[in-house]
Structure 1
Amino acid sequence: MSRAGGAGKPRAAAAAPPALAEPSALAEPSERAGRGWTASLSLANCAIWAGWYGPLQILLALQAAEVAPPGTAKESVLAWVAGLGAAVSLLANPLVGALSDRTTSRYGRRMPWVLAGVLGGAASLTLLASARTVPLMMLGWCLVQLTLNAAFAAVTAAVPDRVPHLQRGAVGGWLGAAQILGVLAGTGLATLAGGLVAGYLACAAFTLLATLPYVLLHKDLVLPADRRPPFTWRAFLAGFWISPRRHPDLGWAWLTRFLINLGNALALLYLLYYLRDALHHPDPDGGVLVLTAVNGATLLGTVVISGIWSDRVGRRQPFVLWAGAIMAAATVLLAAWQTWPGALCAAALLGVGFGVFTSVDFALMTDVLPAAAHRGKDLGIINIANSLPQVAAPALAAPLVNHLGGYRVLYLVAAAIGLLGAVLVRRVRGVA
């Protein structure tokens, strides 16, 4: 095509000046990502999610019950700790994403932040293990969120850096599978390690060790120093606002992700207490592990194949819509059928829906990114739709459970919010 377009022109004009060529870190990827790179990136993602969800599923709830002052409900302590940590993640993810966009290290834009994040995450989990007061518990969890969000921002930004559009559903599927395996690994380590401190230390060790293959075996794309834009605080801070009027697809896709994740966060936040106080399960810790395993098994059955399927058909919206509807139906089950078999069925359905949503919605998000030069920052803003629900969920869940009808009302509200998010994906026009 370039030869035909250059017919009749002087030969010197046939080639573009080398200075106009985009560095590989800023170019749209055209070569398919290799299996080894995808596997090690997925393992790093698994490590980060294990570091988050060992505490979130088991350890923080147990620790809140231990450190809660007399007269203070354990639910309130957990809500404050989880909410403050999520607030830190709101800032950390886009900030580190923006900093990684400007990083000109010889090790690449993203890799230094992956390594620093998991090292800091392991140290922060170790500090959290020693917390015996509410303030120290808050500090430890905020540091965990800060450091692991730094690593997560860099890991997710590596996908649009290295993966072409028509492979992103598949890679998103593998990252989604790694996510639920990380949740399962973190929950298993927290449950089986043999105590609160041992659980935190096991999660810290796994978070660090499982990231090493990606850090040691793969090179990152390097941004030349002369291609880094001049820095001003005004331009840097202004970059965190992405106008939904100028980029409506990104705005609607963000809102879809936020609402579906909020519904899911409401469903999972008090799962341990739901089993203990509503179902009177004889072993609520073990029950959470069983439900997580059931959820993980059904999620793994859908997450990769749905991503590949969406790549092949070239459509994202129908997958996200039906995934949200299935998740809403599962949450209604938790409200209407408050038995152990009902919880098992709900966990299985949630896994099916969240598996489809995780892979296809990730691909949809990378498809609507505005520009290659600030992928990390934009994905960090998108990832707020993952972390903001962790702030909003405790604020909504505590009064719903304690004052407005208990777990039945909590799960009906969660279902309504998630279903609204699923319907709104139809407003994304630029990506089928």
Structure 2
Amino acid sequence: MTTGRAPAALAEPAEPVGRGWTAALALANGAIWVGWFGPLQILLAAQARDFAPGSGMSKETLLAWVTGAGAVVSLLANPLFGALSDRTTARRGRRVPWLVAGTAGGALSLLLLAGAGGPWTMTLGWCLAQLTLNAAFAAVTAAVPDRVPRLQRGAVGGWLGAAQILGVVAGTGLAAAAGGIGAGYAACAVCAVAGVLPYVLCHEDQRLAREDRPPWSARAFLAGFRLSPRRYPDLGWAWLTRFLINLSNSLVLLYLLYYLRDRLHRPDPEQGVLVLTAVNSLTLVATVVAGGIWSDRTGRRKPFVLWSGVLMAVATAALAGWQTWPGAIVAAAVLGVGFGVFTSVDFALMTDVLPAALDRGKDLGVINVANALPQVAAPALAAPVVTHLGGYRVLYLAAAAIGLGGALLVGRIRGVD
């Protein structure tokens, strides 16, 4: 550093952000989730069904391989692009260039998926989509600790969470209503690009001056991705809490289309997925912002994470014991209540335990591994359980136990109330 005072880009933010900034960032976040969940909820499962007969695999196994490969890419891409954005000295700031590049690349990747002719092209397209959309997502999440004061982060995290869920609904709706797999991918690509434009055109980040950027060292850059739980125990416990609760949620979502078709025998399972997603999203949106604001006002994070995780575990267990269409609707509603509070407050908790301002993007990327890694682990766990070890009842009981364990571990965090 050239002075004893932290540069503006690295200072702890003190001035509250306005509604326009929050709305534009939330819209960009929702657009990225459209690009992810249109494929994950409908389109990839439909392609796996079409390509499975010629691949020598069942549709469940093929879908597990494709989503697992994409999740591995996501696992690496988010912290990598977060770290690169930390050190970016562009005129528009550290984050905006990566938001632009990532969204454009994501749209092109979705168009590649639209033209996929077999399992290998499908896998390549999804891996590229995960790579590029994670660059954009890393930029969006890092913008919050860059610009938002601590006691406003629950509310801002709530709006980002609401946009995320609306993005899931919009992506699912576009995929289901577009009239075909190719049209579904194209609609998601257009929506992703359109959604980031207001933030890109109207807002800039804090710029990092070249003299404030640390000297480049490949060895130090790579070493920075290791965040020692021994050195940062609160970060370690917070990461594990997020990982386990997201793993539970991933186990619920992965085979939802097949659960409705093969276990509940719904005549139109794609429409059923859309209905459950809408119910889940309505209750989630009803609690995600309110939970974040409530947490900000009380100055506490852990009780909200604990009880939202417990509620989600109860709802997941209900899917195992009440395997009917009304049971699925009730479970989707209760899961939405729990995940709404968890989404906003856990995000605020994560930003509260970040070690260093210079590495906000990288550290949040490492934390976001707890979102991507469950997508790798869930197929590996779910496929053998569904096909050989007891079916959907055992799968959802295991998911409930995993989520409950994650909720209880939040009590190990000491530096946050």
TM-score, scaled to structure 1: 0.95
Q: How does 1:345-424 map to 2 (within 5 A)?
A: 345-424=330-409
Instruction: Give the distance between the partners of 1:39 and 1:156, measured in 2 at CA.
Output: 14
Q: Is residue 44 of structure 1 aligned with residue 24 of structure 2?
A: no
**Kept after mapping to 1: 8 A contact 2:239/2:367:** yes
| 2:46 aligned to which of 62, 76, 79 | 62
1:175 has 2:179 as partner: no
Please give the secondary structure, in 2, of the residue aligned with 1:19: coil
Q: Flag structure 2 segments of 5+ consecutive residues without an equivalent.
A: none
Cα distance between partner residues in 2 of 1:19 and 1:354: 44
1:236 and 1:341 map into 2 onto residues whose CA distance is 51
Q: Which residue of 2 aligns with 1:11?
A: none
Extract unaligned runs of 5+ from structure 1. 1-16
Give the number of equivalent residue pairs.
Answer: 416
2:90 is matched with which residue: 105, 121, 126?
A: 105
2:196 maps to 1:211:
yes
2:229 corresponds to 1:244: yes
Residue in structure 2 matching 1:192, options 155, 163, 177:
177
Aligned to 1:31: 15
Counterpart mapping for 1:128-147 below 5 A:
128-147=113-132
Residues 1-30 of structure 1: per-residue CA shift (max 9 Å, x gap): xxxxxxxxxxxxxxxx98322221110000
Distance 1:213 1:134 in 2: 36
Instruction: Name the CA distance, whole Å, in 2 between partners of 1:136 and 1:125.
Output: 11
Deviations 1:147-206 (A, max 9, x none): 000000010000000000000000000000000000000000000011100000000000
One-letter amino acid of the structure 1 residue matched with residue 25 of structure 2: L
Between 36-45 and 19-28, report the one with greater CA deviation: 19-28
Residues 1:259 and 2:239 aligned together: no
Alignment of 1:111-122 (within 5 A): 111-122=96-107
Structural RMSD (CA): 0.9
Q: Hey, what's the Cα distance between the residues in 2 that align with 1:204 and 1:67?
A: 22
Q: Is the Cα–Cα contact under 8 Å of residues 259 and 392 in structure 2 kept in the other structure?
A: yes
Residue identity (%):
73
Amino acid at match of 1:349: V
In 2, the alpha carbon distance for the partners of 1:316 and 1:227 equals 33
- In structure 1, the residue matched to 2:110 is 125
Task: Report SS of the residue matched to 2:159.
Answer: helix
* 3-state DSSP of counterpart to 1:415: helix
CA distance in 2, matches of 1:210, 1:234: 37
Confirm whether residue 89 of structure 1 aligns to residue 74 of structure 2. yes
Does 2:275 match 1:290?
yes
> Equivalents in 1 of 2:78, 2:358: separation in Å?
17
One-letter identity of the residue aligned with 1:29: P
Contact 2:2 2:211 in 1 (8 A): no
Matches within 5 A, 1:332-347: 332-347=317-332
Hey, what's the Cα distance between the residues in 1 that align with 2:117 and 2:21? 41
Match of 2:217 in 1: 232
Matched to 2:41, the amino acid is Q
Q: In the alignment, what sits opposite 2:256? A: 271
AA at the equivalent of 1:359: S
Q: Residue type of the partner of 1:137? A: M
